[in-house]
């Protein structure tokens, strides 16, 4: 386990929307280099970069055309290497996004595989035996190639699935086993991509749809086997490199597949959802809701299932949001967002902050889909840096912007937030400084629940010498707890010390050291 991950705090950068250094309206790698000090100043020491590879951008770069080349709109391979070097000089790490499950249908492998003539790439993707062979349980694209067969897609129609084989073979005419030499070669091709960028200085990968490799693999047994072999390669040849999965199942991803860390994603019915995004119609039933009537037990039951089995082997990553979900501002007030940040930054695991969340950027519902974003487009708008032209994101004419700038009344920017001691930014920065200064608040330190009651408040937990109280509800809530001799380290809202009990005011957070 690379040591640096234990105090890593990540900042996710959606490159096209972060900072445009050359006035073409699209963010770029040079722009990221120029803003490294900003990211570091917030308290992050690592960056996850969404895909920067050459792509036709039918899914914002998750449709890779060339794994070995930076998309010209972001710069060159040399620029990316300069980013690695500049980050390393500042003590920061850079994770690239690895998209192993599918490519763009414009990828040269696919261009060859879809032809009638058989080649050594004919099994790189998954084709049925003829165009008349189209079992409805598979997402197939039918009748559009020269080759007599239909092909499987993972996500959008432009993203044909790479062939890692089938764990359970239901159609032996066209399904290969995972240990077929052609399937092993697919995995080898992806390992080669990883080695290429690790050799250039990347610190590892966030892995897109990590569970998607082998098909008909419900328990993900054969998929885990592939990742284990990747982990062995890292342990042997790149012991400081990490792989973090988009999976949201610590048992499978960390324990079985060997990932160093796994994202806690917003999935219907899981703990993340019940904490932050459980909206039933207009009724927000999340634990962190503006008039909370949520249930902390829903979170705990789910979280501890994953935490207990994986905590000695890897990290669960709390995310403020990502490029696939509405921003938190869609669900909560700025104040409640501050409480969620206080909670996340005092929990174990590797935290991830999505660009713009530190200033409370808004989720836009009024935008036309861009590059396959659809409902996600509203979370992908240009970073708002200042009151200057295009919010300081770019010098370009307004109509050239990748996506429009949020011009709504009171839209936040870095400048306004940095100058306001009560801002979301100031709160997050203070919390990250606390986390950094105190080993008990770091990523692998123990978590112990002190008080949690179904539909009750506050929620109280301990991290080493620290105790955290959080009460997002409308009411002040009392809990038996002797605060004698405690040092109050961080407060949002208020509390009263009643000797043998503590009263945590409505919508408040308290961190004490004792
Ligand atoms: C992941 C990415 C998402 C992308 C999809 C297909 O979920 O986060 O943005 O569209 O995979 O690659
Ligand atoms: Ca640019």
Q: How many CB atoms lie within 10 A of CB 147?
A: 18
For helices 334-344 and 424-437, give the axis angle rounded to 10 degrees.
10
**Phi, psi dihedral angles at 196 (to 5 degrees):** -55, -50
Closest CA to 341 of 423, 412, 254: 423
Ligand 1 binding pocket includes 208 (Cβ within 6 Å): yes
- What is the model's pLDDT at position 170? 98
- Judge whether residue 165 has pLDDT over 90: yes
Helix (H/G/I), strand (E/B), else coil: 215: strand
Ligand 1 binding pocket includes 155 (Cβ within 6 Å): yes
Ligand 1 binding pocket includes 59 (Cβ within 6 Å): yes
Mutate to test the pocket of ligand 1, among 50, 52, 56, 62 (most ligand atoms within 8 A of CB): 62
- The closest-lying atom of ligand 1 relative to the alpha carbon of residue 99 is 12
Percent of the chain whose pLDDT exceeds 70: 100
As a whole number of Å, the end-to-end CA separation of the chain is 31
What pLDDT, in 10s, does the model give residues 102-120?
A: 999 999 999 999 999 999 9
Average confidence (pLDDT) over 138-164 = 98
Residue 285 banded pLDDT, cuts 50, 70, 90: very high
Q: How many CB atoms lie within 10 A of CB 440?
A: 14
Ligand 1 binding pocket includes 266 (Cβ within 6 Å): no
Question: Residue 374: nearest ligand to its CA?
Answer: 1
Task: Please give the radius of gyration of the chain, using alpha carbons only, rounded to the nearest integer.
Answer: 24
- What is the model's pLDDT at position 340? 98
Residue 291 banded pLDDT, cuts 50, 70, 90: confident
**Distance (Å, whole) CA 322 – CA 311:** 23
**Distance (Å, whole) CA 73 – CA 58:** 15
Mean pLDDT of the chain: 98
pTM: 0.98
CA angle 223, 225, 231 (to 5 degrees): 110
The residues whose Cβ lies within 5 A of ligand 2, an ion, are 20, 22, 24, 26, 28
Mutate to test the pocket of ligand 1, among 59, 64, 380 (most ligand atoms within 8 A of CB): 59
Determine the distance separating the centroid of ligand 1 and the alpha carbon of 209, expressed in angstroms.
7
**Distance (Å, whole) CA 493 – CA 503:** 12
**Distance (Å, whole) CA 13 – CA 15:** 6
- What is the model's pLDDT at position 292? 87
Interstrand relation of 204-207 and 151-152 (parallel, antiparallel or unpaired): unpaired
Residue 169 banded pLDDT, cuts 50, 70, 90: very high
Determine the distance separating the centroid of ligand 1 and the alpha carbon of 502, expressed in angstroms.
45
Asked if residues 97 and 14 have their Cβ atoms less than 8 Å apart, the reply is: no
- What is the model's pLDDT at position 399? 97
Residue in the block written with tokens 């693999």 = 217
Ligand 1 binding pocket includes 211 (Cβ within 6 Å): no
Determine the distance separating the centroid of ligand 2 and the alpha carbon of 24, expressed in angstroms.
5
What pLDDT, in 10s, does the model give residues 454-472?
A: 999 999 999 999 999 999 9
Question: Residue 30: nearest ligand to its CA?
Answer: 2
Closest CA to 497 of 487, 507, 184, 391: 487
Q: Which of 481-513 are b and which e, b meaning 16 or more Cβ less than 10 Å from the residue's Cβ? A: bebeebeebbbbbebebeeeebbbbbbbbbbbe
Non-local CB neighbours of 156 within 8 Å, separated by 6+ positions? 58, 59, 63, 372
Q: Which of the two residues, 240 and 292, has the higher pLDDT score?
A: 240
Average confidence (pLDDT) over 414-439 = 98
Ligand 1 binding pocket includes 324 (Cβ within 6 Å): yes
Asked if residues 233 and 113 have their Cβ atoms less than 8 Å apart, the reply is: no
Q: Name the closest-CA residue to atom 5, ligand 1.
A: 62
What pLDDT, in 10s, does the model give residues 379-401?
A: 999 999 999 999 999 999 999 99
Q: Name the closest-CA residue to atom 12, ligand 1.
A: 62
Non-local CB neighbours of 330 within 8 Å, separated by 6+ positions? 362, 363
DSSP E strands, 89-220: 93-98, 140-141, 151-152, 204-207
Mutate to test the pocket of ligand 1, among 209, 373, 379 (most ligand atoms within 8 A of CB): 209
The kind and range of the H/E element at 48 are strand 46-49
């Amino acid at each position: 386990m690379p040591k640096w991950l234990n105090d890593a705090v990540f900042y996710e950068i959606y490159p096209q929307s972060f900072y445009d250094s050359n006035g073409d309206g699209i963010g770029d790698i040079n722009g990221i280099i120029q803003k490294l000090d900003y990211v570091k100043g917030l308290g992050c020491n690592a960056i996850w970069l969404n895909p920067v590879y050459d792509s036709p951008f039918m899914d914002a770069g998750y449709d890779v055309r060339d794994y070995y080349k930076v998309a010209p709109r972001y710069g060159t391979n040399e620029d990316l290497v300069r980013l690695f070097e500049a980050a390393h000089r500042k003590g920061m790490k850079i994770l690239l996004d690895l998209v192993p499950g599918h490519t763009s249908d414009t990828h040269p492998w696919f261009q060859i595989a879809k032809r009638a003539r058989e080649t050594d790439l004919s099994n790189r993707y998954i084709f049925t035996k003829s165009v008349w062979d189209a079992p409805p349980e598979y997402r197939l694209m039918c009748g559009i190639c020269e080759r007599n067969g239909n092909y499987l897609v993972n996500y959008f129609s432009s993203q044909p699935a790479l062939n890692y084989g089938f764990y359970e073979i239901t159609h032996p005419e066209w399904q290969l086993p995972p240990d077929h030499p052609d399937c092993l070669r697919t995995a080898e091709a992806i390992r080669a991509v990883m080695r290429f960028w690790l050799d250039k200085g990347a610190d590892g990968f966030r892995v897109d749809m990590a569970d998607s490799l082998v098909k008909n693999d419900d328990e993900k047994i054969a998929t885990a086997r592939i990742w284990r072999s990747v982990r062995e390669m890292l342990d042997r040849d790149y012991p400081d490199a990490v792989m973090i999965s988009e999976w949201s199942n610590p048992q499978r991803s960390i324990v079985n597949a060997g990932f160093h860390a796994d994202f806690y994603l917003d999935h219907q019915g899981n703990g993340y959802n019940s904490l932050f995004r459980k909206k039933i119609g207009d009724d927000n039933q999340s634990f962190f809701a503006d008039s909370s009537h949520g249930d902390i037990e829903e979170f705990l039951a789910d979280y501890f299932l994953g935490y207990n089995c994986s905590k000695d082997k890897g990290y669960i990553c709390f995310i403020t949001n990502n490029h696939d979900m509405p921003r938190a501002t869609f669900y909560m007030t700025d104040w409640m967002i501050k409480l969620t940040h206080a909670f996340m930054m005092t929990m174990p695991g590797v935290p991830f902050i999505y660009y713009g969340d530190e200033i409370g950027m808004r989720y836009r519902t009024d935008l036309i889909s861009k590059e396959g974003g659809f409902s996600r487009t509203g979370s992908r708008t240009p970073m708002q840096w200042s009151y200057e032209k295009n919010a300081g994101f770019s010098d370009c004419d307004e109509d050239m912007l990748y996506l429009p700038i949020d011009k709504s009344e009171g839209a936040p920017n870095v400048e306004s937030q940095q100058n306001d001691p009560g801002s979301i930014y100031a709160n997050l920065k203070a919390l990250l400084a606390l986390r950094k200064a105190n080993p008990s608040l770091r990523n692998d330190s123990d978590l112990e629940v002190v008080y949690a009651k179904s539909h009750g408040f506050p929620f109280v937990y301990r991290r080493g010498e620290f105790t955290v109280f959080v009460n997002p509800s409308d009411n002040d809530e009392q809990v038996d707890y002797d605060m004698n001799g405690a040092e109050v380290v961080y407060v949002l809202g208020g509390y009263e010390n009643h000797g043998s009990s503590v009263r945590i005011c409505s919508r408040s957070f308290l961190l004490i050291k004792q």
